[in-house]
Structure 1
Amino acid sequence: MAIADFSERTLIVSSQGLGWLSAPGPATPLPQEKIAPTYRTWRFNVFMGIFIGYAGFYLIRNNIPLVSAVLEKHDLLGAAGIGIVANAVLFSYGLSKFFMAMLSDRANARYFLPLGLALSAVMNLLIAFIPAISASVAIFATVMFINGWFQGMGWPPSGRVVVHWFSTSERGTLMSIWNTAHNVGAAVGGALAAWGLQAFATSEADWTPAFWLPAIVALVIAAVAYLLIRDNPQSMGLPPVEEYRNDPDKVEGNDNEVKESWFATIKNHVLTNPVVVMLALANVFVYALRYGVLNWIPIYLTNELHKTNVTGGIIGFMLYEGAAIVGTLLCGWVSDKVFKGWRSGAGMLFLVGTGVTIFVYWQLPATAPLWMFYVLISLIGALIYGPIMLIGLQAIDLSPKYVAGTAAGFTGLFGYLLGATLASTGVGLLIDYAGWDVTFATLIGVVVVAFVLMIFVGKYERDVMRKADAARTSATQ
């Protein structure tokens, strides 16, 4: 079936059942001479829309850690209460990233992303201006759980926009750039919170500006995202991006699959799809590595090695996140240009680098200068974020376009619910009861497991790429 025919039927079927939130159908085709300039303009616009929009979610995702010292110092919430409230949003986000993805696959990204951001901002405003919410751990955690649910409306529509507006051979680079939005958003969110506390707090115990100021900025960003994002090219009278760039998807669906129910879609393309399941399992281990190192940097440097004070430990934390931007961009470029779209190859390369660097970090003598630890921390951050980005990209690359968000959401569900838990609770238990040597050895083992899973994914991906190449060759003959 022709790309244009299938894409058009996909849009028509997938737009049914969500009312005003439904994905738009195809518009009247534009004249040939307008296609290229319109594509250039709107590819830039939609990318900026999802980049700025997704960064906006990180302004207000979980600002509890930023004010935890104030909450504890003034006995507003105990340490246990702070932990419960902070974990509520992460747990909810992991669930929502999957379930909201199922809606997003059939929804208009132009509405879906800004709506989620605006609703999340409203939750943060309620937390700031209704004292009764923060007076109870149960109520506070419940509202943060709701906030986390709305947060899950950010990644799926962004992934939907990417697969509709950018073709396979360019997605690695584009996704790596887009993926840095969360680093940008987290940095700006921290700066806004700090400025808000300094400029608008009415007392030392007033933590609310760290919530309401970023929330107001997020509402503005939601409006900007609405103006910039368009759901798909066909809704603007443009041909599908695969046709425009002569670059077919790795995996195409068929009419019968497009008409499947949500349950059938999940069963056929997620739960019984070996490659998606393996990607989800791999995500557990790469997330365990991400947080297994990140969460314990301050404690390792200060309490275990006595290399620096609390501020120095936080600097290590910041270096890890900052280096992630460079590493993510590099990994995306390598997957496109060096491995020619074979994401697994780039993922395995970066995982090997992660394992080697963690080993050196572990074995570096406590007498070594602090800057050497900082360099290794930066390298680990730069290397591990590449595979994290790639797994989400592989999920949308190796699934039919109309289930791309659901597949990526499934991998995210595993990453947050299991991987983050292993990194926090599991690593904490290892440190307390087995010591740092066993902990680092376990992290190396986690790298090995992730690498083995990526080998199996890579074999499947190679087969899919060969079939896509063969189909492209036969179509041109």
Structure 2
Amino acid sequence: MRSLAPGIKLITSFSRDSWYRFFILILTFVFYTTYHLSRKPISIIKSQLHRNCSNVIHPADLNITDNDTWCDWAPFDQNNYQNLFGVLDNCFLVAYAIGMFFSGIFGERLPLRYYLSTGMILSGLFTALFGLGFYWQIHSLWYYCLVQALNGLVQTTGWPAVVACVGNWFGKGKRGFIMGIWNSHTSVGNILGSLIAGVYVSSAWGLSFIVPGIIIAVAGVICFLFLVEKPEDVNCTLPQHHESVEQEPLLRNSSSNEEIFSSNTSTAVEPVEDHTEAISFCGALRIPGVVEFSLCLLFAKLVSYTFLYWLPLYIANVAHFDPKEAGDLSTLFDVGGIVGGILAGVISDYSGGRATTCCAMLIIAAPMLFLYNKIGQNGLPTTIGMLLWCGALVNGPYALITTAVSADLGTHECLRGNSRALSTVTAIIDGTGSIGAAVGPLLAGLISPTGWNNVFYMLIAADVLACLLLSRLVYKEVRGWCGYTTRQRGFKEI
């Protein structure tokens, strides 16, 4: 008998369930990559909107009346341009933070495929509208603020929806590792957004927004055509956290997908799907650990988003790189974030301590931020090394809380099998974190005119506060390791 080709052997070695789970993981990874890809250009083009015009060669036919600002883009040609950049960032981030608290509620009650695809297409529209301001010669701050605010609202559709979808497909086993890898979409999106925006920033910065806008809109169409929200929609087995006490013996004795989804067992699966109500906002807040992790994420995300929006400008001002080089160099922070997110997931899976892992990384991050500000620009190798380290330590806890921790809490055992809390819990945690994401860039815009040292002191203080907010959970986890608490399935009772 002829042996199968090695490639076919590899393909057939995986079950139908495994292929569907892999497909959903890749699909949601791509979707949220495009969300971050469309957010990044604003940080790249800041140094182009306000430049040192004395170093720019002007056209011979241009009548220059002010040599200091002739090459700047009004209204960002004023001396308070950093404050205006802060206002622009906050229009997006405040709208995002407010919208996030409602997005999870909608996500629990609307079909995820329609909800996500609509949000991605609208995000593409508003991202492109910002870039069209370059071609339409719009110099009104109100226009850019309005577009940013509307974009912030529609972008809230992304995170609760993709986390809920992944949570529907994956159980708690190795969740930190799987979601640590999956969550690298944030950094990958930032990197791709920086590189795409950098291609056009010096020639036609409008395309730095239009091209990412087209990409995320196309991804929205793909989402509508291919996303499968739940395993039962395609007769795949349910992950562990969907199983109720009554279902477990039945599923354990089943030998195939056909047995699990036969007419005899469908009545056992149906009550979990049809007779559980979506959790209320206050009910989600009562889940142990939600408040602490939400407040911790507020300060952790404050630090991460300050880097997201201000790092290219900081590198350009302090290290004197041109806008494209500063944007390219800033991607190293996100490269470090990929490694940090995976490392945080692996460590927390192995130790069983989500809070302790976050706290340890935040403690190390504080002095690392201080060192980056002091010696980070002493040569290119030092800059590269410090950016990688800071990215790993800053984004590691942020990635862990928004993925594995949110999924753990959204399927916590106190919910008694109700799987319809995941989107709401995720939205509460990320929405609270988004308040910090809004405050951080705003404070950076207000503080940076007094010196970049003060900005870094603010970031260090935020890291310390994030650690303190996790202190009770860390104490519980340490006691658990010493045998004082009972280990629950994948998550300690806190």
8 Å contact from structure 2 (residues 180, 341) kept in 1:
yes
User: 1:357-368 alignment to 2 at 5 Å?
Assistant: 357-361=368-372, 364=375
* Residue 293 to residue 126, structure 1, CA distance change in 2 (3 Å): closer
Whichever structure has more helix as a proportion of its residues is: 1
Q: Report the AA paired with residue 378 of structure 1.
A: L
User: 1:457-468 alignment to 2 at 5 Å?
Assistant: 457-458=473-474, 466=486, 468=488
1:352 shift after superposition: 2.7
Q: Measure the CA separation in 2 of the matches of 1:85 and 1:428.
A: 10
**1:452 is the counterpart of 2:455:** no
Residue 390 of structure 1: which of 366, 383, 400 is its match?
400
Equivalent in the alignment of 1:120: 123
Q: Measure the CA separation in 2 of the matches of 1:361 and 1:70.
A: 25
Equivalent in the alignment of 2:355: 344
8 Å contact from structure 2 (residues 75, 141) kept in 1:
yes
Residue 21 of structure 2: which of 24, 27, 43 is its match?
43
8 Å contact from structure 1 (residues 85, 144) kept in 2:
yes
Q: Measure the CA separation in 2 of the matches of 1:120 and 1:296.
A: 22
Q: Measure the CA separation in 2 of the matches of 1:452 and 1:82.
A: 31
Q: Structure 2: 5+ residue runs without aligned partners?
A: 1-11, 51-70, 249-270, 412-418
1:270-328, Cα deviation, whole Å (9 max, x unpaired): 2x45621111110122123324566665676676xx66545675565332222111111
1:120 shift after superposition: 1.3
8 Å contact from structure 1 (residues 156, 409) kept in 2:
yes
Q: Measure the CA separation in 2 of the matches of 1:227 and 1:258.
A: 28
How well do the aligned residues superpose, as a CA RMSD in angstroms? 4.0
1:61-117, Cα deviation, whole Å (9 max, x unpaired): 353344445545353432365554443222222222221121112332222222211
* Residue 245 to residue 105, structure 1, CA distance change in 2 (3 Å): closer
> Which structure would you say has the larger Rg?
2
* Residue 420 to residue 109, structure 1, CA distance change in 2 (3 Å): same
1:409 shift after superposition: 1.5
* Residue 299 to residue 38, structure 1, CA distance change in 2 (3 Å): closer
User: 1:155-166 alignment to 2 at 5 Å?
Assistant: 155-166=159-170
Residue 223 of structure 1: which of 217, 221, 224 is its match?
221
Q: Measure the CA separation in 1 of the matches of 2:277 and 2:388.
A: 45
1:196 shift after superposition: 5.4
* Residue 121 to residue 313, structure 1, CA distance change in 2 (3 Å): closer
User: 1:68-467 alignment to 2 at 5 Å?
Assistant: 68-72=46-50, 73-78=71-76, 79=81, 83-128=86-131, 134-195=138-199, 206-242=204-240, 265-270=280-285, 272-273=286-287, 275-292=289-306, 309=321, 314=327, 317-336=330-349, 338-339=350-351, 341-361=352-372, 364=375, 369-392=379-402, 393-400=404-411, 401-421=419-439, 423-427=440-444, 436=453, 440=456, 443-458=459-474, 466=486
* Residue 122 to residue 376, structure 1, CA distance change in 2 (3 Å): closer
TM-score, with normalisation over the residues of structure 2? 0.72
1:44 shift after superposition: 0.9
1:243 shift after superposition: 7.1
Q: Structure 1: 5+ residue runs without aligned partners?
A: 1-33, 199-203, 473-477
Equivalent in the alignment of 1:16: none
TM-score, with normalisation over the residues of structure 1? 0.74
Q: Measure the CA separation in 2 of the matches of 1:295 and 1:142.
A: 18
* Residue 384 to residue 231, structure 1, CA distance change in 2 (3 Å): same
8 Å contact from structure 2 (residues 86, 444) kept in 1:
no
8 Å contact from structure 1 (residues 111, 226) kept in 2:
yes
Number of residue pairs matched by the alignment: 418
Secondary structure at the counterpart of residue 105 of structure 1: helix
Secondary structure at the counterpart of residue 362 of structure 2: helix
* Residue 298 to residue 406, structure 1, CA distance change in 2 (3 Å): same
Q: Measure the CA separation in 2 of the matches of 1:100 and 1:209.
A: 29
Query: Percent identity at matched positions?
Result: 23
Q: Measure the CA separation in 1 of the matches of 2:315 and 2:129.
A: 38
Q: Measure the CA separation in 2 of the matches of 1:320 and 1:158.
A: 24
1:125 shift after superposition: 3.9
Q: Measure the CA separation in 2 of the matches of 1:435 and 1:184.
A: 27
